[in-house]
């Protein structure tokens, strides 16, 4: 083993990667990697950050190992060590590329030295990686507008939509754009972190630390504000932060997993402030848009995916975009490892379990769907599907109504459990049942019976 030239293999691998990926992508991820030493049947390289390491692993590890094997004929693994860079490197020159009056032209030449990556933002959550179609057009374009002119167009911007539909991606795309194209300060925080920092500041008796941190920024991005439900104290703090930033024309962006009207015990004064800006929603994309997202993802991974495989995934994943990408990436990882081209057959085989796996997130909704379907001698898939036969439509509406009655789930969440339906469909269904209840005296009894069965079923399972 000792005589193997690991460093030579690594250099050769880099040459091949540069060829495969193209200069831009290659230098983004590999110019900062340093060969450190040969390990035990492995090559150890230094990476500048944990984020960088994770990206290399998730996107390139399989390809690298394959190349290493083809060069050396050996199974050589790649290990990563995080090495912090000295301050002398990558000094950012403060090039101001945009001013409020002169937003940068879309294709403005970029300064050669980029600003360092924003530590709170995912590098791949950019507009370039975000497919804008019909269902998310309004949200996507609003986000672009905000990123070009923070604080000046839609303020605040509130993006809502179910799990895995792209809220965080879109919000961070704004952050990444502003960070890269101006000197503006951007803060991204999850609501949970916002709360934790608040609590910590109180414990440490440094309330001003918290205030200063979140009130002196040009763009504040707060993700998943449904987390603030039932939490008065932090809502009050949010309210003050909001006012301080809003009054000085700083941009605020929020995301939420449900419509504002369904936020429980949420301060009215905050809700009314959302109304000052723009509220946009994200829905599960249509078939063509799903195909476009998959194609883009495949391209970014340099994977050659035949259309029938894209079609297979687009047609079978009906939950959210995260699951959509997950199915594709599972397939890419498999085929890279096995060194086989992706065919429809392989895809069907490999994705069978993913397609058939019940969604774990919302077990109680699944029970409601199951029992209601059974009551009408239908299957759960009838209720989750899109068939418009009268009896199916009625059973579906009823199950949605019961879901809303029996659980705390929002209409966005319920919609997702019904095969990725839009929250407005759920709202409409509930309304229909409410109307029927006024005119049909037997319906109440039916509902009571089904609810009793659901409770019995839940107790047993």
Residues numbered 191 to 230 that lie near ligand ADP (CB under 6 A) are: none
Tell whether residue 188 is a contact of ligand ADP (CB under 6 A).
Answer: no
Q: How many residues does the chain have?
A: 461
- State which of residues 18, 115, 213, 322 lies at the interface with ligand ADP (CB under 6 A): 322
Tell whether residue 167 is a contact of ligand ADP (CB under 6 A).
Answer: yes
* Closer CB to Mg ion, 284 or 376, in the complex: 284
- State which of residues 98, 147, 155, 168 lies at the interface with ligand ADP (CB under 6 A): 168
Kindly state the number of chain residues that form the binding site for ligand ADP, as judged by CB under 6 A: 16
Tell me how far, at minimum, the Cβ of 68 lies from ligand ADP, in Å.
Answer: 28
Alpha-carbon distance of 289 to 295, in angstroms, equals: 10
* Closer CB to Mg ion, 168 or 191, in the complex: 168
* Closer CB to Mg ion, 321 or 373, in the complex: 321
Kindly state the number of chain residues that form the binding site for Mg ion, as judged by CB under 5 A: 2
**Nearest residue to the partner Mg ion, using Cβ:** 168
* Closer CB to ligand ADP, 150 or 166, in the complex: 166
* Closer CB to ligand ADP, 161 or 175, in the complex: 161
Residues numbered 144 to 173 that lie near Mg ion (CB under 5 A) are: 167-168
In the numeric block, the tokens 């032209």 are attached to 105
Tell whether residue 313 is a contact of ligand ADP (CB under 6 A).
Answer: no
* Closer CB to ligand ADP, 157 or 373, in the complex: 157
CB crowding 427-437: b at 16 or more within 10 Å, else e: bebbebbeeee
Residues numbered 112 to 141 that lie near ligand ADP (CB under 6 A) are: 129-131, 136
Closest to 14 (Cα-Cα) out of 60, 75, 83: 60
* Closer CB to ligand ADP, 125 or 376, in the complex: 125
Tell whether residue 415 is a contact of ligand ADP (CB under 6 A).
Answer: no
Tell me how far, at minimum, the Cβ of 322 lies from ligand ADP, in Å.
Answer: 4
Tell whether residue 189 is a contact of Mg ion (CB under 5 A).
Answer: no
- State which of residues 169, 250, 421, 423 lies at the interface with ligand ADP (CB under 6 A): 169
The β-bridge relationship of strands 42-47 and 34-38 is antiparallel
Residues numbered 353 to 372 that lie near ligand ADP (CB under 6 A) are: none
The β-bridge relationship of strands 219-223 and 251-256 is parallel
Positions in the binding site for Mg ion (CB under 5 A): 167-168
Positions in the binding site for ligand ADP (CB under 6 A): 129-131, 136, 161, 163-169, 293, 321-322, 325
């Amino acid at each position: 083993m000792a005589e193997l030239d690991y460093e030579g293999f690594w250099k050769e691998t880099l040459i091949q990667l540069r060829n495969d990926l193209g200069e831009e992508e290659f230098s983004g991820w590999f110019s900062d990697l340093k060969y450190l030493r040969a390990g035990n049947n492995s090559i150890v390289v230094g990476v500048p950050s944990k984020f960088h390491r994770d990206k290399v692993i998730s996107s390139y590890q399989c390809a690298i190992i394959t190349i290493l094997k083809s060069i050396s004929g050996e199974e050589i693994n790649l290990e990563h060590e995080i090495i912090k860079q000295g301050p002398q490197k990558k000094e950012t020159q403060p090039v101001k590329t945009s001013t409020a009056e002169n937003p940068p032209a879309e294709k403005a030449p970029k300064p050669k030295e980029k600003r360092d990556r924003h530590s709170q933002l995912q590098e791949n959550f950019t507009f370039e990686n975000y497919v804008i179609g019909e269902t998310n057009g309004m949200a996507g374009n609003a986000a672009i507008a905000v990123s070009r002119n923070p604080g000046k167009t839609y303020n605040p911007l509130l993006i809502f939509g179910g799990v895995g539909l792209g809220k965080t991606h879109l919000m961070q795309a704004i952050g990444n754009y502003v960070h890269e194209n101006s000197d503006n300060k951007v803060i991204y925080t999850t609501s949970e972190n916002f709360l934790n920092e608040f609590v910590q500041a109180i414990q440490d008796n440094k309330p001003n630390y918290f205030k200063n941190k979140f009130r002196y920024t040009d763009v504040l991005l707060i993700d998943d504000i449904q987390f603030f439900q039932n939490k008065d104290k932090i809502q009050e703090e949010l309210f003050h932060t909001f006012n301080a930033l809003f009054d000085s024309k700083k941009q605020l962006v929020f995301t939420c997993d449900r419509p504002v009207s369904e936020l429980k015990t949420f301060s009215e004064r905050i809700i009314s402030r959302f109304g000052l800006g723009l509220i946009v929603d994200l829905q599960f994309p249509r078939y063509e848009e799903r195909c476009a997202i998959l194609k883009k993802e495949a391209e970014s991974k340099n994977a050659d995916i035949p259309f029938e495989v894209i079609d297979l995934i687009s047609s079978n994943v009906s939950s959210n975009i995260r699951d959509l990408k997950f199915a594709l990436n599972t397939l890419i990882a498999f085929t890279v490892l096995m060194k086989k081209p992706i065919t429809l057959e392989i895809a069907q085989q490999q994705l069978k379990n993913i397609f058939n796996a019940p969604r774990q997130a919302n077990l109680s909704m699944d029970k409601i769907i199951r029992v209601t379907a059974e009551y009408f001698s239908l299957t759960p898939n009838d209720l989750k599907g899109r068939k418009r036969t009268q009896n199916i439509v009625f059973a579906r509406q009823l199950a949605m109504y019961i879901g809303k009655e029996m659980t705390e789930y929002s209409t966005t969440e319920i919609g997702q459990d019904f095969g990725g339906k839009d929250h407005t469909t759920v709202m409409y269904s509930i309304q229909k049942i409410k109307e029927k209840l006024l005119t049909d005296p037997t319906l109440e009894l039916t509902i009571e019976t089904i609810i009793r069965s659901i409770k019995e079923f839940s107790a047993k399972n």
